[in-house]
Structure formats: C-alpha cells, structure tokens
Structure 1
C-alpha cells in the first residue's frame, strides 16, 4: 500500500468514528500581488464555496503593499496573519535563524512585533487575525510571553506545540529547504500526514497544519497542493474549523484567559 492510500485509510477511520480530523492551511511570506499568489488563491477557488477551507496567509508587515489589500478583497476565505516584521535574521553565530532570537534585546523584539502589528492593522483592519507567525518558525520564549500585552492571542510555529497559549502549529512543510529547495516528494508528504493522523486517532487533539510558501513552489509543489487540498476538502474524515476557533481567539473586549 502506498503512503497516499495509508493516509486515506486513516481519514476513513476517522469518518467511521464520526470524528473528523481537523486540518488547517498556512502559507508564508506574502507582501504583494504576484502570479504565484494568484495561483494559490486559484487552488482554493477551484473548490465549491461550501467546501472551501480557510487559508491563513502570513504577511510580512515591512514589505506589505496596499495592492495586496486590493487583491485579497475578493478572497474572503483568506485571513491575514502577522509574519514577524521584516523577515530579517538577527540570530548570532550558533543560533538558529530568527528575527526574534534570545540573544536580541527583548525591548527591540517586542517593539518590532508592535510595529508590524500596527502596520498590518492599518492595511487590513478586520482581515488581520491577532496571530503571530515568527519567520523561520523560531522565536524566543520571552517574546512569546510578551505577545499577549501587544494584543496578540495566537501563535503558529512548526512541529508539536510547546505549550504557549493560543498556539496552533503546522506539521507538514512541503518544501525540502536544506538541499533541493523543491518538493519533498509525494510519498514523504503522505508519510508525514499519516503519522500525524495516527497521533490524532490515538488521542492527540491539535489540528494538523499544512505549510506552503507560494513564492518558492516548483511544479511538483503546486500539483501536490491541488491534490491534497481537493482530498481534504471533500473527504468526510477531514474538517477545516474556522481559524478563530483553532487559535481560540476572543472577540475584542473579552477578558483574557492566558496564564
């Protein structure tokens, strides 16, 4: 049995229990309208409106252009997430790439987060969710602890959650960044999805996050994205809850529940 069949079998198992597995889709590094962004939006647009999943688009505030606002005005299923400030690496030698590493002064980090949030609020207003996506999926714990005071309720990184309030991560990155910078391969992608599905069937509750980068896709990435999106949107064993629900976002003015 190939990996795609194994994954579908796990979705079938979820459907049989009447408890669909939760998924969500995040795409990073948007700043302006591009043919690649049009292509990404088109993948979602191909689906029936009733089955069209939400898309969390991580926008880099420092590079965001008003033209992006106009382009996304006709894509109501796309929500804006904050992707750092400038996607600039401030890590020192020996640290993983990060715009907000532990070695950088906390006041500088939080000032950048605030500047980025203000920029996106000015551009997108109600389209912006109070969710922070750190570049390279890497951010120091003190910065995470300071997000709530800046009005940010959600956090999205890569891999298993690390216990932060409002954290909803991604688990499958379809690009192999270290060597080929191309598609990781269909078998490898479905193998990872199968593993994540098995964890959920065994009791893990966090949604399974798919991570894409529209500006870096090769043709194999695009083909797989269409295949996976179509499968998940139409299978009774898969569900795409609203992003507000996944990140446990509160309405403005509601009391905080963060500890």
Structure 2
C-alpha cells in the first residue's frame, strides 16, 4: 500500500486553496438553478484504525459531514472495529460503512488492476463478494451498509450482475467506468483528491480544479479520499474544503443512502 503523498501535497502551492475555492464558487454561481448541489465524500482502503484513519474520522465528525467508508473485509477485525467504535459513534447515519472488495488484491494478469475483473470466473467473484459481505456483517452488525466500492474503481460486467442478484443497493466506480451501465445505482467518483499522477504541483492543482469544475457542471460532486496518502497539507486542504462546503447553502452533502442514481441538472 502506497503511503507517499502525491506531488500536489508535497509541494502544495501557497494559493492552492484559494484557487480551489474560486473554482467551486465560480462554477456554482454559473449554474442556472439555485437547487443545492449534491456532494459526497468516499474514503477508500478503510479497515485499520491508523493515526491517519482516526484523524480523518475526527475531522468529518467535527463538521458533521457524511462520509462513505469503503472497508476492506480482510483488514477489519473485531478488535480493530472496537477501536473505531471508541472514536466515533459508528451507528450514526453520518457514516456509510460499506464493502471494498475482499482482500484488495489484483487478479488481472495484465493491464489495469482489478480484484473483481474479467480474468476471474463468475463463481470466484460470487464467493469473494459473499464472504466479504458476511465478514463485515459479522463484525459490524447493523452498521454495515450493502453498497460496494470495487478496488481500483473498476469491475467486470459479471460482478455488476452479481451485485444486483445479491441485493446490494449500489456501487461506486470511477467516472470513466460509466460507459458500462450498471444494473444498480452507481455513485461514481469524479474528483480524486489524493491519487493524482501529475508530475508537478501546479499541474496537479490545475487538474484538480478542472475536475471540480466539471463535477459541478454535471450537477454531482463525488470526492475520493485516501487517508494513507495524506500529510499535513492534505489534512489542511480537506479541513478548509469541509469548512467551505459546510458554510455554503449551495451544496447538499449526502451519503450513498441519501441519493438515487446521480442525474445531471
């Protein structure tokens, strides 16, 4: 698991948050409707109550902002879950604890990584979906929400079919996966805060601002978080972003459970 923050946070521009704030404000003000804009946060690779993971929960708890937490089943134990429970009220509707694959292991022999990709048989996919769900249910009980975030934000057509058959309420993939229609609600990600691949901080900031602008224009902002990749600059930006969004009447911060499938508007 990578822990080195991307270049944006290692060399965060002095006016970085100002640019992000101006981008969001400008994009929202250009909208023709005053209807609040749906916005959600999804935190991936949850399961170990590390310093960064608990700090992330505290930050969201302070603002009362909903957070969808993608939990890797094999990473979560009863002891670790008790530690999460000691820091936040896990029963609160503020949190959407849901399934993030099974082991977060790549099974593709080549190309883009996927745990639930086309290289696997339908029976193998079914087994891992069920045992992942069963493990989380056994540890979390009623705190578990039947939504699915595939590791690396992609999965096969057969996985989508299985999720619907098994009664999952929704999936959360990347925006780029929308060419393959899901048979259940897809709360796709269109803003990536931390796994950026630009080679310099200025380019990374520009690309992040562009993702935010486009998301507002699509009438749906869904922000992906990776706490392992957050340093002080990463937490500072997220803190400022949460403060800005919380104080604005132009956004409606949601969880998967609050939304039907995202629509443009």
* Fold match (TM-score > 0.5): yes
CA contact (8 A) 2:173 2:189 kept: yes
Q: 1:64 aligns with which of 60, 71, 76?
A: 76
Identify the residue that residue 163 of structure 1 maps to in structure 2. Answer: 181
- Residue aligning to 2:58: 42
Q: Deviations over 1:44-76 (max 9, x none)?
A: 1332xxxx2210110100111223322333232
Partner of residue 227 from structure 2, selected from 203, 206, 214: 214
**More divergent stretch after superposition (27-36 vs 214-223):** 214-223
Alignment match, 2:11: none
Residue in 2 that maps onto 1:225: 238
Q: Give the length in aligned residue pairs.
A: 236
The separation in 2 between residues aligned to 1:102 and 1:5, in whole angstroms, is: 41
Quick check: 1:23–1:238 contact (8 Å CA) kept in 2? yes
Structure 2 CA distance for aligned equivalents of residues 57 and 111 of structure 1: 22
Q: Which stretch shows the higher mean deviation, 72-81 or 112-121?
A: 72-81
Q: Which residue of 2 aligns with 1:243?
A: 256
Distance 1:247 1:107, change over 3 A: farther
CA contact (8 A) 2:106 2:113 kept: yes
Confirm whether residue 174 of structure 1 aligns to residue 174 of structure 2.
no
Deviation beyond 6 Å, 4+ runs, structure 1 = 179-184
CA RMSD of aligned residues (A): 2.4
Residues 1:181 and 1:89: Cα distance change in structure 2 (over 3 Å): farther
Secondary structure of 2:113's match? coil
Q: TM-score, normalised by structure 2?
A: 0.81
Q: Secondary structure at the match of 1:17?
A: coil
User: Of 78, 86, 95, which residue of structure 1 is paired with 2:103?
Assistant: 86
Question: Equivalent residue of 2:175, what SS?
Answer: coil
Q: CA deviation at 1:149?
A: 2.1
Distance in 2 of aligned mates of 1:182 and 1:118: 42
TM-score (norm 1): 0.82
Contact 1:69 1:124 in 2 (8 A): yes
5+ residue gaps, structure 2, are: 1-17
More divergent stretch after superposition (162-171 vs 174-183): 174-183
